[in-house]
Amino acid sequence: MRAWIVTLALVSGPAAAQDKKTIDNPTFANWAKFKAGTSVTLKMTNDASGVKSASTMTTKLVEVTADELTVETTTESEVMGMKFTTPSAKQVHKKTIEVPANVKVPEVGAKPEGTTEEGTETLKVGATEMMTKWYKYKAKTPAGDIDSQLWTSDEVPGMLVKMVTKGDKFSSTLELTELKK
């Protein structure tokens, strides 16, 4: 029995490696257009059955090279009057990534599944106005049906400018409050 497992591992190892493809990393491609020091601050507010919470997340581009970039994220949250600060966390994003060959990689900026309407709108973030692409879409979740609207822009690292989601007993708003280039 043990020999069969070893043989299977040796045979399936190279086959599994062939089942992967290398693609350009969409996160790298988007953030690499900006200079080190660029940061985005997003604020999220939630109301779940009357329980309100808020979080502010700042992501800063620390370093960019030809093959990878590093971002650092800090989050501050407030839930039921209590404030929490999460220690900063760094993430490295490679220029390319491997994904299983049978996985369909969503196109960056593609409209979300369930889109019912789409358009463009100029939104103001601080003193800056930016053109955004927006989508209204519906989704079914274990918690019930949700309605969302998403605004994106290529002018923003991460592309997210605003997102509003509503369900039967909750609502959530995530919006860009500051962009430093």
Helix and strand counts by DSSP (H, E) for the chain: 2, 11
How far apart are the C-alpha atoms of 31 and 94, rounded to whole Å? 11
pLDDT at 12 over 80: no
The number of CA neighbours under 13 Å toward the Cβ of 34 is 26
Nearest to 69 by CA among 42, 45, 92, 103: 92
pLDDT score recorded for residue 18: 61
| 22-97+110-180: CATH number | 2.50.20
pLDDT score recorded for residue 80: 84
pLDDT at 2 over 50: no
Using DSSP, state whether 74 is helix, strand or coil. strand
Nearest to 164 by CA among 45, 9, 53, 31: 45
The number of CA neighbours under 13 Å toward the Cβ of 142 is 0
Q: What is the mean pLDDT of residues 6-20?
A: 49
Give the tens place of pLDDT for each residue, 88-113: 999 999 999 998 888 887 777 778 88
pLDDT score recorded for residue 102: 86
Ranges 14-18, 29-33, 160-164: which has the least confidence: 14-18
* pTM, full prediction: 0.82
Give the tens place of pLDDT for each residue, 25-40: 999 999 999 999 999 9
